[in-house]
Structures are given as structure tokens and as C-alpha cells.
């Protein structure tokens, strides 16, 4: 008899949710994580009384009532609504593209006026294509929303995010660009959204209550031992690393964060401000207090913490954030997935193990589905 039913490698949202559901079924789990803390990328650190999202802003949103009820059964979520602002050369625009955006850009006040401007510019882009299909992201975006929106709100931000010219990026990256002909700044279309009251660490702590955990513990430093302690492994790390990079390394984009503490109650008046011009090196500034403080609460905390985000090319040893789902990497991942599909005692799950960008609700939904089918 092995000591554990499951060894769970990684304490992020997939691993923590899996441990919670397994515990409910009476299974004995051990969760290990190579970082010095639990929670993976949803980990927050308390700075000046503010929960700072250490690995980038995380906003929970879903239309799945079962998923929403589940996370709220662990910790109550607040009413935060994601309404980012774009700053282009000192002028502010609401996101996603809606009537507020079009008024700020053109001064139009009716949906028909806005649509007329957009269709006019889309028609100009179609003429330039001369009946050909878009060959890159720039051509695709121009065909979807026209020149003004593309040049002010898409081009610079996208090139910083991917480290490549829009003319060098595939069009499928922007399959569609939603245009709302209403005055609605809510970024997500989902029915539910919010942030855990008290921060994401409360969600992690709730999911892992009663579960044995170890931090600062690298699975690969003593792999033979860790493989011997449990009947099954739940692996949430990098799938190529699990297989010793035998086919080569998968590529990622990564993000670097610069934190600043400011002696003021309110730095930018919003949780998320995107900087869409190419000349500013960071992609956005996050002001963390706005995720959990609203109205007069903001002024009661006389300090604020911001994070400037810099998107960079990933190199070995850096944090792996966004899979590069181009043809080369997708083909490489398929080779690793073929190996994974033939594993009887290993469950691969999450962004790194499946080489796929996931929103948080997708992760929770996937784990709940695993146990509802078991």
C-alpha cells in the first residue's frame, strides 16, 4: 500500500481544486509545490494592507452557475466588475469597444453613427485586400474594426504583448473583435464575476484545508521517490519537462512585473489601464486595491500599490505564462500529448500540462467534470 492515493504536483487552481474534490471522496492527497508558497499564479501578497496579485491580475468570471456556487462555497466573492481603460498618448478610451469608446474616438452619439464609421473603414480595408483573405493580424484587424480602432487600441499593445509586428503575426490570434453598440464597459459577457473577499489566498486555503502540503519541494529533484509515494500522480507542471524535453522545449511568452508603492489613496482610479502606444514599454498598469476596495473604501487606505507589466520573450528559467500556439509548438505539444494519453497513473491538468491558455473558471469546471464522471 502506498502512503497516498494522489500525489499532486503543483498547488495552483487545478491542483488545489483536485485535492479538495479528492478529499471529499475520502482520498488521501499530498500536494507539493516548488515555490515557497501555495496557490500557484493566483497567489497574493499583502502589501500596505492591499492584496497584490503577484503573478498578474486574476478576475474570476463564469456563466456556469455550478462553478460559481462551488467557488463561493469556499469563500464569498465580491462585486468587482472588470472595466479596463486604454490610454493612447494621454487620451483615454473605454474597453471593450462600445459606444463610450466610439464617442471618445469620433464624437458619435448613436449606434447608427458609430456603425457607419466602422463600416466605412472596414470597406477601405476590404478594397486594399482586393478579394484576398487576410494574411496576418493587421489585415484581419483592419477588416474587423477599421483603421482608427486598430491603430490606437490594438496595434501597439499587440506588438508589445507578442514581441512581433502585427504584420508578422497570424490573423487567427484575433479571430473576432467584439463591437458593442451599447454604453457598456463590462469587459466580460459572463453572468458572474468577482474577486474572493479577502483575496485569492483565502480560496487556496479553503480548497487545501485538511490536505497535506509541502512547499519549496521540486518533484524533479527526487523524482523516483515522489513517484513511489502515491497510487496516482496529478501533474500540473510543464508537460515537456515531465518527459525530459525529449522532443524539445515548448515556447511561451512571459511577463515581468515592476511593483511600486505610492503615497496616495488612488493612483489611476481603475484596476486596469492598458497602454496601447508602442512607445511606452509596458502593456498595462494594475492598481490592486481597486479589485477589493470600492467607493469611499479606496480613500481609507492612504497607500496604493501598482504593477507595471512588461511582456517579454520567454527563456529557460523564466516563468512560463502564455503558450505560443503556433503551428510549430502545437505540433510539438501533440507529440507529448500522445505520450500523456497512454499514461494510466498520471493525470495531466492545467495551463502548463496541457499547453493551453485557461481562464480560471475553465480549470474549476474541468476538475468538477473529472469527479462528476468518476
Q: What is the pLDDT of residues 230-242, one digit of tens each?
A: 999 999 999 999 9
| Residue 210 CB neighbour total at 10 angstroms | 8
The per-residue pLDDT of the chain, averaged, comes to 96
**SS3 for 261?**
strand
Domain end among 145, 174, 203 = 174
Residue 268 within a domain: no
Answer for the pair 208, 11: CB distance below 8 angstroms, yes or no.
yes
Q: Which residues are paired to 213 by β-bridges? A: 31
State the total domains in the chain. Answer: 2
pLDDT band, very low/low/confident/very high, at 329 (cuts 50, 70, 90): very high
* Predicted pLDDT of residue 68: 98
* Predicted pLDDT of residue 325: 77
* Predicted pLDDT of residue 374: 64
Buried b vs exposed e over 223-241: b needs ≥16 C-beta within 10 Å? eeebeeebebbbbbbbbbb
User: Tell me, what CATH number does 209's domain have?
Assistant: 3.40.50.720
- The string of pLDDT tens digits covering residues 60-89 is 999 999 999 999 999 999 999 999 999 999
pLDDT band, very low/low/confident/very high, at 135 (cuts 50, 70, 90): very high
Same domain, 360 and 331: yes
Residue 185 within a domain: no
Examine the pLDDT at 373 and tell me if it is beyond 80: no
Range from 91-95, 153-157, 318-322 carrying the lowest mean pLDDT: 318-322
Answer for the pair 100, 185: CB distance below 8 angstroms, yes or no.
yes
Examine the pLDDT at 192 and tell me if it is beyond 90: yes
Same domain, 245 and 330: yes
Examine the pLDDT at 132 and tell me if it is beyond 80: yes
- The string of pLDDT tens digits covering residues 202-217 is 999 999 999 999 999 9
Answer for the pair 252, 320: CB distance below 8 angstroms, yes or no.
yes
Q: Residue 185's closest CA among 195, 175, 196, 193?
A: 193
Residue 181 within a domain: no
User: How confident is the model over 242-259, as a mean pLDDT?
Assistant: 95
Give the structural domain span for 112: 96-174
Q: Residue 331's closest CA among 240, 237, 234?
A: 240
Q: Residue 196's closest CA among 43, 14, 24?
A: 43
Examine the pLDDT at 100 and tell me if it is beyond 80: yes
Same domain, 111 and 70: no
Return the active site residues.
Answer: 176, 180, 253, 284, 309, 357, 359
pLDDT band, very low/low/confident/very high, at 326 (cuts 50, 70, 90): confident
Report the run of H or E that residue 6 belongs to, with start and end.
strand 4-9
Would you say the C-alpha torsion 178, 42, 332, 249 has a positive or negative sign?
positive
Domain end among 139, 174, 209 = 174
Same domain, 27 and 59: yes
Residue 34 within a domain: yes
Q: Which residues are paired to 307 by β-bridges? A: 259, 286
Domain end among 142, 174, 206 = 174
Residue 153 within a domain: yes
Same domain, 51 and 133: no
Same domain, 236 and 333: yes
Same domain, 131 and 157: yes
Angle at the Cα of 268 from the Cα atoms of 305 and 111, rounded to 5 degrees: 140
Same domain, 72 and 132: no
In three state form, how does the secondary structure of 118-185 look? HHHHHHHHHHHHCCCCCCCHHHHHHHHHCHHHHHHHHHHHHHHHHCCCHHHCCHHHHCCCCCCCCCCC
Q: Name the residue with higher pLDDT: 181 or 163.
A: 181
Answer for the pair 350, 10: CB distance below 8 angstroms, yes or no.
yes
- What residues have CB less than 8 Å from 42, skipping those under 6 apart? 12, 13, 53, 55, 58, 200, 203, 204, 360
Residue 332 within a domain: yes
User: How confident is the model over 257-282, as a mean pLDDT?
Assistant: 97
Same domain, 148 and 67: no
User: How confident is the model over 142-164, as a mean pLDDT?
Assistant: 95
Same domain, 154 and 221: no
Answer for the pair 29, 8: CB distance below 8 angstroms, yes or no.
yes
Taking the whole predicted model, whether its pTM rises above 0.85 is answered as yes
Same domain, 227 and 120: no
Examine the pLDDT at 22 and tell me if it is beyond 90: yes
Same domain, 204 and 242: yes
Residue 149 within a domain: yes
Q: How buried is residue 123: exposed, middle or buried, by Cβ count under 10 Å (0-12/13-18/19+)?
A: exposed
The rounded distance, in Å, linking the Cα atoms of 178 and 153 is 13
Amino acid at each position: 500500500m502506498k502512503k497516498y492515493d494522489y500525489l499532486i504536483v503543483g498547488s495552483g487552481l487545478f491542483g488545489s481544486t483536485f485535492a479538495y474534490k479528492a478529499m471529499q471522496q475520502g482520498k488521501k492527497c499530498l500536494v507539493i509545490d516548488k515555490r515557497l508558497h501555495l496557490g500557484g499564479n493566483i497567489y497574493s501578497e499583502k502589501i500596505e494592507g492591499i492584496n497584490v496579485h503577484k503573478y498578474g491580475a486574476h478576475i474570476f468570471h463564469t456563466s456556469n452557475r455550478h462553478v460559481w456556487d462551488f467557488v463561493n462555497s469556499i469563500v464569498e466573492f465580491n462585486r468587482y466588475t472588470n472595466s479596463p481603460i486604454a490610454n493612447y498618448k494621454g487620451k483615454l478610451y473605454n474597453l471593450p469597444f462600445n459606444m463610450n469608446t466610439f464617442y471618445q474616438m469620433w464624437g458619435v452619439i448613436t449606434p447608427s453613427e458609430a456603425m457607419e464609421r466602422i463600416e466605412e473603414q472596414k470597406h477601405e480595408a476590404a478594397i486594399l485586400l482586393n478579394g484576398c483573405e487576410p494574411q496576418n493580424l493587421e489585415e484581419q484587424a483592419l477588416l474587423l474594426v477599421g483603421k482608427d480602432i486598430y491603430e490606437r487600441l490594438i496595434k501597439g499593445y499587440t506588438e508589445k504583448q507578442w514581441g512581433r509586428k502585427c504584420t508578422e503575426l497570424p490573423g487567427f490570434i484575433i479571430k473576432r473583435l467584439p463591437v458593442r453598440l451599447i454604453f457598456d464597459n463590462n469587459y466580460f459577457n459572463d453572468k458572474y464575476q468577482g474577486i474572493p473577499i479577502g483575496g485569492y489566498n483565502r480560496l487556496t486555503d479553503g480548497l487545501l484545508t485538511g490536505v497535506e502540503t509541502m512547499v519549496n519541494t521540486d518533484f524533479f529533484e527526487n523524482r523516483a521517490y515522489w513517484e513511489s509515494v502515491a497510487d496516482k500522480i496529478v501533474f500540473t507542471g510543464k508537460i515537456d519537462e515531465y518527459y525530459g524535453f525529449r522532443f524539445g522545449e515548448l515556447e511561451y511568452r512571459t511577463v515581468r512585473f515592476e511593483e511600486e508603492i505610492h503615497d496616495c489613496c488612488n493612483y489611476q482610479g481603475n484596476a486596469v489601464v492598458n497602454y496601447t502606444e508602442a512607445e511606452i514599454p509596458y502593456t498595462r498598469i494594475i492598481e490592486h486595491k481597486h479589485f477589493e476596495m470600492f467607493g469611499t473604501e479606496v480613500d481609507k487606505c492612504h497607500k496604493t500599490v501598482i504593477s507595471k507589466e512588461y511582456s517579454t520573450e520567454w527563456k529557460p528559467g523564466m516563468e512560463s505564462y502564455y503558450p505560443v500556439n503556433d503551428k510549430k509548438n502545437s505540433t510539438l505539444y501533440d507529440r507529448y500529448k500522445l505520450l500523456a494519453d497512454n499514461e494510466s497513473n498520471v493525470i495531466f491538468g492545467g495551463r502548463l500540462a496541457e499547453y493551453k491558455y485557461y481562464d480560471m473558471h475553465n480549470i474549476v469546471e474541468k476538475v468538477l467534470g473529472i469527479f462528476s464522471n468518476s
